[in-house]
Structure 1
């Protein structure tokens, strides 16, 4: 699938690096099949030294030579990037955007008519090849091209195709979700320290508790509420703790956080 493809990355930040790392470790792609352009020369040199990939002098040359072009840039710079490459895509490469909130319509308007475009919402666990990515295809994307796009993101975790109308909600849930989970992890570790545990012990117990709980949900396929009930004995310690969480509105706060991030994603798309 990848043997003859030349992959171009515009943007070499954390997510771009995660995808490069995943593609090289989990697919038959070779380093000389990947080229990158980033506004930071220092960043490009680091990626070249670390992954032995090729560097491009500018975004236009990279676009002109790529079979698959991955736009790993911030939403605020997307307009400038599209303006710089649109005249160099007459060969109609597959264009993949991982910029949060930027719709297929906006991407299509900034690229030549007929360009196949896939919009992707990855998340930061892709850095350790445990990401959750959703992909929405544009009008001109073939099934074979979508297979390629899915395979790219399966190299860094789980990847599924969704309707574009869900992408803002995905951004609010799995895109921003790692930050919510990290806040919970930090809070549980601090709580253990508050109760007298050494910090390293509290950290190890917290991380294993989360890992074990996720595995339990995945492997049993039971509803989280059913598993919660198994842990919650009448008049016991867990129900007392759950009462505090309900009193403090933790469930509602997490739901509101996802809602707020979803609405912000829509704002970014409109702007």
Structure 2
């Protein structure tokens, strides 16, 4: 199987790397197309192949479309008709219907990965066109699993996925940085504070994933009457941390909806 990737920016580069690092494909089975030849150089040195966008579909069974949504119109013109190909799009707000009309393809998947996909630990929201059958879907899921955990969603939920998992790593990084700084303020070294925060977060997440309890159950396990933890929780509630986090996600979601409207207005029919 040969895979093409149109657009080798941040997400395209991650997909190209993970397809090979995971053992799914050899470098020679991944064909890349990008406006900037400089970004392709490092991949060429590793044995990847390159092609012009107008030619990339000739040898590929499936194509990842990883350009910025505002560049999609130009890409569609260069790509032309690819009726018989499987298309997997990372383009924000560019709908399955739009991709079908522009390319003639019927078997289409839209995905929203997040940055932990760099190490195969991402969360990938994915939806598919009606013409993509279960057998092909399973094949796509196997391929996408090199990026992390795949969650099937409805296309109209894409903006929610953008807010909750696509953007959320940035919010986690802000929280992690604040907790590390708290450790430094109490006299711990940066290295020890960082290790304690990251291992505590990773262990807590793993506990929730494995045992599937509601987070509140474990919160009460840690919280003793008149102890240190309840004092910290009281402070979080008093400072409105819960509401601030919920508002952060909601505002991100509303911005995603706004961008969707803008992009749809820019892209022709």
Give me the TM-score of the superposition, normalised by structure 2: 0.92
**1:171-205, CA deviations, whole angstroms, 9 ceiling, x for partnerless residues?**
11011111111111011001111122111111111
**1:121-140, CA deviations, whole angstroms, 9 ceiling, x for partnerless residues?**
11110001101102100122
**What's 2:89 paired with?**
97
2:169 is the alignment partner of 1:170: no
**What's 2:144 paired with?**
153
**What's 2:47 paired with?**
52
Residues 173-182 or 239-248, more deviating: 239-248
Is the CA contact 2:7–2:32 (under 8 Å) kept in the aligned structure 1? yes
Within-5 A mapping of 1:18-97: 18-49=14-45, 51-56=46-51, 58-87=52-81, 89-90=82-83, 92-97=84-89
Across the two proteins, how many residue pairs are aligned to each other?
262
**1:48-105, CA deviations, whole angstroms, 9 ceiling, x for partnerless residues?**
22x421011x211113332101011222212221222124x14x20010012222212
- 1:125 and 1:101 map into 2 onto residues whose CA distance is 21
Is the CA contact 1:103–1:269 (under 8 Å) kept in the aligned structure 2? no
SS at structure 2 position matched to 1:102: coil
SS at structure 2 position matched to 1:29: coil
**What's 2:101 paired with?**
109
**What's 1:128 paired with?**
119
2:204 is the alignment partner of 1:208: no
- 2:153 and 2:120 map into 1 onto residues whose CA distance is 21
- 1:60 and 1:149 map into 2 onto residues whose CA distance is 23
Give 1:160 shift.
2.4
Give me the TM-score of the superposition, normalised by structure 1: 0.91
SS at structure 2 position matched to 1:110: helix
Q: Runs of 4 or more off by more than 3 Å in structure 1?
A: none
